[in-house]
Amino acid sequence: MPRPTAIPRSTLDIPTLAASLRAGSRAALARAITLVESRRADHQAAARELVQMLLPHTGRAIRVGITGSPGVGKSTTIDVLGMDLIKQGHKVAVLAVDPSSARTGGSILGDKTRMALLSAEDNAFIRPSPSSGTLGGVAAKTREAMLLCEAAGFDVVLVETVGIGQSETAVCDMTDFFLALMLPGGGDELQGIKKGLIELADMIAINKADGDNLTRANITAGDYRGALHILTPRSEHWHPPVVTYSALAHTGIKELWQKILDHRTAMNASGDFSGRRREQQVKWMWTMLEQRLMSKLRADPALRSKVRLIEKDVADASITPAVAAEQIAALLKE
């Protein structure tokens, strides 16, 4: 989905932008996220200032990552769950990490048209995946967008992704609860095990447990319970449950959310909650640093051409990758 890249000058008046965002202006929030996503150096500096300024107002949302193959029902689930939460008085932001968006120039994930109910709600904010750069870059920007949404008063943030490459790890690293959606007997179970996905998941939820699928959904749930049984859980205070639900028939959604709340209660009681957040912050610092170093390498034409020559030497096997890395590190120091 195309989005405006031009950033009006007024956006760079950071204190004013921060104040309107805090006052609940959706336009300000959208502009702030565009600023965070911009690759221009002056915009990035402004974005850093903005996020730092808003930091005291972040961190209070429930952050939930949601993954699942295309067609599993992510958007239907988010639409229905999001509406339930809004009815309970929450404000719900939906963000996405779509590593393929860099290639396709657009993102299916987080597309408003997929969430018809939520997109008409004042208390929902839906933003598609940033569509530039590497997975690390996309994820880092989504994480900052999440902080902006929190500062704007959104107290539930849902971050969706698809099981491509490392995107699940990236989303898991920015959320408090990682939810893996599966299909009844879709053969997904083996995939999940292979990718290590079920090691990341705080809960596995089998969607489409309705009509003819009901029995198969229960069998699949049993399979996952068996698979989880042999894994060591990430926290000794939480054993990832396996539930079945139907987004379409609106059954099991309330129970699904209750598990997320139970998890938070358990993690708070054990201290794992703040532990996970602290670890995540530090991990993100390193991710941001990697991003900066990489973008420095890419942005400076002189550096870029030197790196290309080194790269050629490595390809020709005239120097080792280790020596090349050393040379590039030295270039960065200059």
Q: Give the binding site for ligand GDP (CB under 6 A).
A: 68, 70-76, 114, 207-208, 210, 246-248
Using the minimum distance from each CB to ligand GDP, give the nearer residue, 54 or 205.
205
Using the minimum distance from each CB to ligand GDP, give the nearer residue, 99 or 137.
99
**Taking the complex as a whole, how short is the minimal distance between the CB of residue 128 and ligand GDP, in angstroms?**
13
**Taking the complex as a whole, how short is the minimal distance between the CB of residue 123 and ligand GDP, in angstroms?**
21
Using the minimum distance from each CB to ligand GDP, give the nearer residue, 29 or 94.
94
> What span, in angstroms and rounded, lies between the C-alpha atoms of 149 and 22?
9
**Taking the complex as a whole, how short is the minimal distance between the CB of residue 81 and ligand GDP, in angstroms?**
11
**Taking the complex as a whole, how short is the minimal distance between the CB of residue 96 and ligand GDP, in angstroms?**
10
Helices (H), the chain: 14-22, 26-37, 41-54, 74-87, 101-104, 135-151, 167-172, 188-194, 197-200, 214-229, 253-270, 272-299, 301-315, 321-333
Q: Is 8 exposed, middle or buried (0-12, 13-18, 19+ CB in 10 A)?
A: exposed
> What span, in angstroms and rounded, lies between the C-alpha atoms of 116 and 164?
25
Using the minimum distance from each CB to ligand GDP, give the nearer residue, 207 or 220.
207
Using the minimum distance from each CB to ligand GDP, give the nearer residue, 135 or 253.
253
**Taking the complex as a whole, how short is the minimal distance between the CB of residue 315 and ligand GDP, in angstroms?**
39
Dihedral angle sign, alpha carbons of residues 111, 101, 163, 31: negative
